[in-house]
Each structure stands twice: as C-alpha cells, then as structure tokens.
C-alpha cells in the first residue's frame, strides 16, 4: 500500500511540476507541495495554503491587517472552509504559491490537537514517555508543540474540562473550525515547523490517542512545580 501511494504522489508531482512558472521548472519539487500532497492523499487530512508573507524582508503578513499576530501562518484566501483532500486542488494551490505555509483544518474526520509551550511540551513528552502513555504525532514550532489526538466535538471537550479542578492556562485546544500549521512551513515566530514525532514512523495506521487521555496526562504532569506553580507554565 505504501508503495502504491508513493507512486501516486510521484505522478502528481511530475504532472504539476510542468505547470510551474518558467524559473522553477528545473528546480527540485517543493517540500511544501510534497507535504500538502502527503497530508491530503496519504493521511486524508484536509489542507489549504496559508496567506504567506510579503514585503522586501519577508516578515510582513500578506493579509490586510498591519498588526497581524500570526504573520503568514493563517488562512485568508482561500478561507478555512476551502480545506480539501483533493490532490488536484492541493497541487494547483502549491504550484501557484510554492512558498505558502501548509495548514491542516482540524476536526471532522481530521485530527484535533492539544498544544502547549515548547519548553513545557518537551518536558511533558519525556514524562509521558516514562509513564508509558502511547502518543500520536507531535508537531513542533519554535514556540509551541501540538499533540495530535483523535477528533472530538466541542461538547465533548467541554464535558472533559468540566471534570477537572484545574486546567493549565497554557493549554490550547484545536478542534472543529481550527487549524494547525504543518511541517515544513515557516512559523509566524520565525524558524520552521517540524515533526517531533512523525506520523507513520512507527505506526503506519496513524493511530491517535483520545483527547481525554492526553489532557488527563498533561494536567497530571503540570502539578508539583517548585513554588506550587504549574510545570506547563512555560
């Protein structure tokens, strides 16, 4: 199956490589195009291009907001509802916008996620591994890491959080109507997004943990910091 998918992706890359603007026709296939096609076809995760950056120094968001807090790393045109698993659409987008960040629309049949600050996430990951908790893929940006989990509804998340006496304010939840920046996109804070735990490296079926297990483990891992604080604070 992996061999068949690989041949299919290569055919798509070869087909759309010929449609690139003249200066890029002889260049290597875009890593972002590869990532978008892999998400859409291999894992069936709906994707769309981020707005990207503009300006001579490439630091300003291409959206109309001069004070954009996540420059380049958010949907704009097309909007989030356009996210798709159609490889033809994904290939067309990244053929015409080869540097656009890859965004995955979370929820529905796609993964959801729980994210926390990068330093706290690295420590939590070591602790959760030591506890033997089975985790799924982990997306790492320079500032935050996102633990991918099985899809959940807002109602289910609300019921889960209601049962907790305390949930660290550093946790963020990416569910229906949200999105995640995928590797190897440029992060809004600078640097590149990468896989801390890559999908399929040890689990070709892309097993995802339930949100309850991950949140419970992270809440447990947050307690007991010196001074009575949270281990997930930073």
Say if residue 170 is in the same domain as residue 127: yes
Say if residue 122 is in the same domain as residue 32: no
What pLDDT does 106 receive?
Answer: 97
Q: How far apart are CA 210 and CA 221, in angstroms?
A: 17
More confident residue, 138 or 27: 138
Mean local confidence (pLDDT), 158-162: 92
Q: Residues 67, 71, 73, 77: is their CA dihedral positive or negative?
A: positive
Is residue 179 scored above 60 in pLDDT?
Answer: yes
Domain boundary (53, 84, 101) is at: 101
Under the banding of pLDDT at 50, 70 and 90, the label for residue 17 is very low
Q: How far apart are CA 182 and CA 47, in angstroms?
A: 9
What pLDDT does 172 receive?
Answer: 94
Q: How far apart are CA 84 and CA 104, in angstroms?
A: 9
Say if residue 115 is in the same domain as residue 230: yes
Alpha helices in the chain (DSSP H): 2-17, 31-37, 87-96, 118-131, 154-162, 211-222
Pairing of strands 144-149, 138-140: antiparallel
Is residue 226 scored above 50 in pLDDT?
Answer: no
Most confident option among 10-14, 87-91, 229-233:
87-91
Domain boundary (44, 75, 101) is at: 101
**Burial class of residue 44 in the structure, from the number of CB atoms within 10 Å of its CB (0-12 exposed, 13-18 middle, 19+ buried):** exposed
Q: Is-contact 52 6, C-beta < 8 A?
A: no
Q: How far apart are CA 40 and CA 84, in angstroms?
A: 7
Mean of per-residue pLDDT scores for the chain: 83
Q: How far apart are CA 81 and CA 9, in angstroms?
A: 24
Say if residue 8 is in the same domain as residue 86: yes
Mean local confidence (pLDDT), 178-202: 88
Q: Is-contact 164 219, C-beta < 8 A?
A: yes
Say if residue 110 is in the same domain as residue 42: no
Say if residue 158 is in the same domain as residue 223: yes
| 148: CB partners within 8 A, 6+ apart | 111, 112, 113, 136, 137, 138, 139, 199, 208
* Cα 222 to the center of its chain, rounded Å: 23
Cα-Cα-Cα-Cα torsion 40, 45, 48, 50, nearest 10 degrees, comes to -120
Looking up tokens 């041949």 gives: 7
Domain boundary (101, 136, 157) is at: 101
Is residue 201 scored above 70 in pLDDT?
Answer: no
Q: What is the count of structural domains for the chain?
A: 2
Q: How far apart are CA 144 and CA 121, in angstroms?
A: 8
Which range of residues forms the domain containing residue 110?
A: 106-234
Q: Per the omega criterion (within 30 degrees of 0), is the bond before 184 cis? A: yes
Nearest-CA neighbor of 30 among 181, 194, 141, 185? 185
Mean local confidence (pLDDT), 51-62: 81
Say if residue 77 is in the same domain as residue 133: no
């Amino acid at each position: 199956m992996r061999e068949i998918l690989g041949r299919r992706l290569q055919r798509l890359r070869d087909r759309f490589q010929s449609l690139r603007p003249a200066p890029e026709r002889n260049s290597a296939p875009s890593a972002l195009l590869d990532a978008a096609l892999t998400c859409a076809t291999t894992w069936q995760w709906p994707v769309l291009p981020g707005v990207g950056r503009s300006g001579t120094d490439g630091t300003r968001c291409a959206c109309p907001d001069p004070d954009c807090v996540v420059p380049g790393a958010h949907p704009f045109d097309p909007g989030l509802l356009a996210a798709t698993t159609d490889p033809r659409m994904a290939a067309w987008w990244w053929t015409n916008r080869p540097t656009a960040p890859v965004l995955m629309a979370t929820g529905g049949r796609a993964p959801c996620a729980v994210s926390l600050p990068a330093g706290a996430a690295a420590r939590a990951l070591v602790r959760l591994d030591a506890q033997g908790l089975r985790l799924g893929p982990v997306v790492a940006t320079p500032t935050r890491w996102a633990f991918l989990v099985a899809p959940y509804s807002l109602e289910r998340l609300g019921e889960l959080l209601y049962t907790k006496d305390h949930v660290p304010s550093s946790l963020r939840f990416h569910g229906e109507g949200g999105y995640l920046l995928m590797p190897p996109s440029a992060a809004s804070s600078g640097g590149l997004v990468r896989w801390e735990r890559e999908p399929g490296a040890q689990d070709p079926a892309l097993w995802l943990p339930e949100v309850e297990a991950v949140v419970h483990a992270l809440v447990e891992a947050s307690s007991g910091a010196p001074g009575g604080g949270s281990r997930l604070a930073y």
